[in-house]
Structure 1
Amino acid sequence: MTHQEVHYPPVDNGLDYLVSVVDHLRGEEVGPRELKYAVVHLQAAVECLLKYRLELEHWSLVFADPGRATRTELEDGSLGTCTVDQTIMRLTNLAGVAISPVEQSNLKFVAQLRNKLQHYGRPHDAKINRYVIEAKAADVLEFLTHFVDSELLPRLGAPPKGETAESLWRIREGLDEIRGYVLARLRRLRPHLDPVKSRTVQCWTCDQYALVVGDEAGGYCWYCHYRRGLDDIALAYAYEVLERTEWPGDHGEPNPVCCCPDCNVETLVRGVLTAADPKTPVNLCFRCGKTFSAT
């Protein structure tokens, strides 16, 4: 009997995980098992591809502690590698790789979600549903495809061919299909969302403009079914979407949440982007739904 050695070069290994992701998320029947493996394999691809780019910069950078890096541990696979946060920081600070704050957030979200599913088995978590995972997976797939094209393949010399080219084609085709599911779902939700565009904001769970506020019951995302009570939804939006973590504004800026002049409740958020005009900030009351000019 002949023994066949199992060997995947780093790029092909990462792409193979991504092919698995699109295979698990394609089709109408996507259940808990498919979601679990899509998340686990997406995170495996993130680690494989991003850390390989670090290795191309310098082999010691993939170690948790580069000062103690040894070639022996790298070659036999016994090394303790850096975390996702460390990988992103080293890529941006040391390798000059452009990773936007939104892309960083998505990469970290996938890592956290993988931990919940793989180590704690919590598919019932409010954030773990098909709609959230599809939307996030599409964003991360798109980022990784561009990352391979711009950061890895040019450094490997020859253009992709054979299994590498086939995997890239399957990933792009699957990404289009997953994006199609997201857009199709949003189209089906238009009867619910179109009449309330002026008080529909971006949901920080699925990133879609489908979270309807301006109701005494709080907010509800029609896309991923996320709910948030009125008592803290304004503060949550300011923290999660506007990324305001300092309270009050220590830099001379007004607080992002203040008293609404119409309903006299402290639920008016400054600088909100709504589905009615995602490029023009307004001041929106998350209780009564009234909007005011942000100027």
Structure 2
Amino acid sequence: MTEQTAPQDPDEPEGGTEEIPAPTTVPDQGVKKTKRPSPRPDVFFTPVSNGMDYLVSVLKHLTEGATPPSARDLKYTVLHLQAATEVLLKARLAREHFSLIFADPLQAKRDAWQKGDFKSCGTLEAFDRLLNIAGLPLEEDDRKRIRELSDHRNALQHYGLKYNAYAIESRAARVLDFLITFIHRYLIPGLKPAEAMSVERDMDMFRMKLKGIEMLVKQRMNDLRSELAKVADVTVKCPDCEQWAMVADGREEGPTCLFCHQVWPEDPESAAANYAWIILGLDDHSVIQDGGDPPVADCPDCGVYALVAQAVTTPGQPGVTPLCFACGTVFNNLVACEGGCGAVLSFVPDGESIPMCFDCIDTRLDRF
């Protein structure tokens, strides 16, 4: 009877090849037995080959399964893309000095590093150390995308995730684009010739498949072009998929992304806050601490806390276009209330009026 081997799980990164020797006849009594080779060779991956193996899995799940990718494919896309990002960033960081991949470099010991017996830094910490210590010119936008990918991975790993498929595809394409550039510029230089050649072979395949993913995204945006043109004045970059397709025109269902179908139902305040934080990188605490105005304010027209004064709309980019995510009003003249309350007013100077909200006016009148 021939020996049956279990099929390899296509949903996991491929490891080393198993070699199962052909069955042999039982030797006669008294005949000296020869030592058989081990049927399972040691598992061995360098950090770089490990990270590249995860990327191979990511591209398979995005391009070789169902069209469009199934929920299961997208799940493994998130998990393996996060793993690839972490491993490859740390592989480059260790080239500066092995202690930098320890959570606390002051506690680093070479013996612990060689055994893999230590607590390492997180993915974002590795990114920051590559930027601030190794001096690599990495972009803040890439850091934000990696942070969001880490959040998705943690959600999947620990308590499940419900997220829009189009948004995951779009975000994955952007992180893949970052990694391909990172590998080419900062990882391949310095590798040993044999490993560099292996990585370059994988890179050729990655570039071709990434183009296919990007073409799907581009095609979808092209399909939406005429629809988006009608609402361009109130269209901004979506904080979920990062496409210029989030429409805040006061529609009843709330701000909506036409690309990824994310909707903030009757919650324009949350949409405005997400946009200000994820796309503009602004939050109340940091901005106020630096002496600036809050990124989100009460709208002078509808009164909802959903006005983003520094919004950037499709026709207005790269300049700012104050936009209310609740009523869809675009403002041309905004000033701060001179009563000191922090309110924002839509005001047209006439040489006589003082920009002041009704509450501050009533307060002053009560004093007299």
**What TM-score comes out, normalization by structure 1 length?**
0.89
Question: Which of these residues, 212, 215, 222, is aligned with residue 258 of structure 2?
Answer: 222
Distance 1:271 1:231, change over 3 A: closer
Distance 1:83 1:259, change over 3 A: closer
The reply to whether residue 76 of structure 1 matches residue 115 of structure 2 is yes
Equivalent position of 2:74 in the other structure:
35
Residue 227 of structure 1 aligns to which amino acid in structure 2? Answer: V
Distance 1:58 1:211, change over 3 A: same
The reply to whether residue 86 of structure 1 matches residue 125 of structure 2 is yes
The reply to whether residue 104 of structure 1 matches residue 133 of structure 2 is no
Q: Equivalences for 1:151-162 in 2 at 5 Å?
A: 151-156=186-191, 158=193, 162=197
Q: Which has the higher strand share?
A: 1
Q: Which has the higher helix share?
A: 1
Provide the rounded CA distance (Å) in 2 between the counterparts of 1:130 and 1:7: 34
What secondary structure sits across from 1:291 in the alignment?
coil
Residue 224 of structure 2 aligns to which amino acid in structure 1? Answer: L
Higher RCO (C-alpha under 8 Å, 6+ residues apart): 1
Residue 242 of structure 1 aligns to which amino acid in structure 2? Answer: L
The farther-off stretch of 275-284 and 12-21 is 275-284
Residue 87 of structure 1 aligns to which amino acid in structure 2? Answer: A
Maintained 8 Å contact 1:259/1:268: yes
Equivalent position of 1:240 in the other structure:
278
Maintained 8 Å contact 1:107/1:140: yes
Q: Kindly name which structure, 1 or 2, has the bigger radius of gyration based on alpha carbons.
A: 2
Structure 1 spans left out of the alignment, 5+ residues: none
Question: Which of these residues, 248, 262, 274, is aligned with residue 313 of structure 2?
Answer: 274
The farther-off stretch of 172-181 and 92-101 is 92-101
Distance 1:175 1:294, change over 3 A: farther
Provide the rounded CA distance (Å) in 2 between the counterparts of 1:240 and 1:29: 27
Equivalent position of 2:98 in the other structure:
59
Q: Deviations over 1:140-196 (max 9, x none)?
A: 111111111111111225487653222111111111111111111111222321210
Provide the rounded CA distance (Å) in 2 between the counterparts of 1:120 and 1:267: 30
Provide the rounded CA distance (Å) in 2 between the counterparts of 1:204 and 1:195: 21
Provide the rounded CA distance (Å) in 1 between the counterparts of 2:132 and 2:303: 46
Provide the rounded CA distance (Å) in 1 between the counterparts of 2:333 and 2:84: 42
Backbone CA RMSD of aligned residues? 2.4
Distance 1:179 1:240, change over 3 A: same
Equivalent position of 2:50 in the other structure:
13
What secondary structure sits across from 2:326 in the alignment?
coil
Residue 127 of structure 2 aligns to which amino acid in structure 1? Answer: I
Maintained 8 Å contact 2:284/2:295: no
Shift of 1:82: 1.0
The reply to whether residue 142 of structure 1 matches residue 197 of structure 2 is no
Distance 1:239 1:105, change over 3 A: closer
Maintained 8 Å contact 1:43/1:110: yes
Maintained 8 Å contact 1:282/1:294: no
Shift of 1:231: 4.2
Equivalent position of 1:213 in the other structure:
248
Shift of 1:97: 1.7
Equivalent position of 1:131 in the other structure:
166
Equivalent position of 2:230 in the other structure:
195
Provide the rounded CA distance (Å) in 2 between the counterparts of 1:43 and 1:252: 36
Shift of 1:15: 1.5
The farther-off stretch of 169-178 and 84-93 is 84-93
User: Number of matched residues?
Assistant: 291
Maintained 8 Å contact 2:284/2:294: no
The farther-off stretch of 23-32 and 249-258 is 249-258
Provide the rounded CA distance (Å) in 2 between the counterparts of 1:67 and 1:53: 19
Provide the rounded CA distance (Å) in 2 between the counterparts of 1:109 and 1:265: 28
Provide the rounded CA distance (Å) in 1 between the counterparts of 2:200 and 2:296: 50
Distance 1:159 1:172, change over 3 A: farther
Distance 1:95 1:161, change over 3 A: closer
Q: Deviations over 1:222-280 (max 9, x none)?
A: 11121122344334433333232236845554444445555565543212111224322
Distance 1:66 1:265, change over 3 A: closer
Distance 1:250 1:20, change over 3 A: closer
Distance 1:19 1:278, change over 3 A: farther
Structure 2 spans left out of the alignment, 5+ residues: 1-35, 335-368
Shift of 1:284: 1.8
